[in-house]
Structure 1
Amino acid sequence: MTLRMAKFAIGQVVRHRVYPFRGIIFDVDPVFANTEEWWLAIPEHVRPRKEQPFYHLLAENAQTEYVAYVSEQNLVPDTSDEPLRHPMVPNMFVRAPDGSYRAKSVPAN
């Protein structure tokens, strides 16, 4: 299996290519790292390949905020410049004056 570099970075705001939600990336897996049951629950005609980066998002749609696990092939950059309302964003990120987000530093144990 050949690993490739992730296209998106921690702190980047992205949108789902198909479904109406957006979010901020807080972690990246180089390949699929969820359960087989989770993967098989995705309808086969839209099931992503496992051999690509998968992203953990603090996600939000019109109704709610949640954590999502999304394949790289299903993400596109979000260029709306709208602030995120997910309640965990301020715990993990700082919003810069230009609207970008950067991860808060975590103290070493």
Structure 2
Amino acid sequence: MTLKHAKFQIGQIVKHRIFPFRGVIYDVDPVFANTEEWWNAIPEHIRPLKDQPFYHLLAENDDTEYVAYVSEQNLLTDDSDRPMRHAQVAELFGPQMDGVYSIKHRISH
């Protein structure tokens, strides 16, 4: 399996290619790192390949906010310039500039 470089970056706002939601990336897996049950629950005709980056998103649609796990092949850059309303965005990120939120630096012990 060849690892691919991630097309998108942490803090970037993206939208789903098929479903009506958008999100800000807060983590990236170089290849699929979820459960087989999760993967098999995706209808086969739209099931993504596993050997690509997968992104953890603070996601939102018109009705709700949630966390999503999405393959690179199903993401597009969101060029709407609309800020995210997801409640956790302010916990992880600072100001947005050109569709990318700056990462807040955390001090932990």
TM-score (structure 2 length as normaliser): 0.96
Name the counterpart of 1:86: 86
Instruction: State the SS of the aligned residue for 1:38.
Output: helix
Name the counterpart of 2:71: 71
How many residues end up aligned between the 2 structures? 109
Give the distance between the partners of 1:97 and 1:74, measured in 2 at CA.
Answer: 23
CA deviations on 1:15-56 (whole Å, 9 max, x unpaired) are: 000000000000000000000000000000000000000000
TM-superposed deviation, 1:84: 0.4
Gaps of 5+ in 2: none
CA deviations on 1:54-90 (whole Å, 9 max, x unpaired) are: 0000000000000000000000000000010000000
Moved over 3 A (4+): 96-100
Instruction: State the SS of the aligned residue for 1:20.
Output: coil
Q: CA RMSD in A?
A: 1.2
1:40 is matched by which residue type in structure 2?
N
Gaps of 5+ in 1: none
Shift in alpha-carbon separation, 1:97–1:18, aligned structure 2, 3 A: closer
Instruction: State the SS of the aligned residue for 2:62.
Output: coil
1:67 is matched by which residue type in structure 2?
V
The equivalences for 1:30-109 within 5 A come to 30-96=30-96, 100-109=100-109
Name the counterpart of 1:16: 16
Give the distance between the partners of 2:100 and 2:83, measured in 1 at CA.
Answer: 9
Percent of aligned pairs sharing the same letter: 66
The answer to whether the 8 Å contact 2:31/2:52 transfers is yes
1:25 is matched by which residue type in structure 2?
I
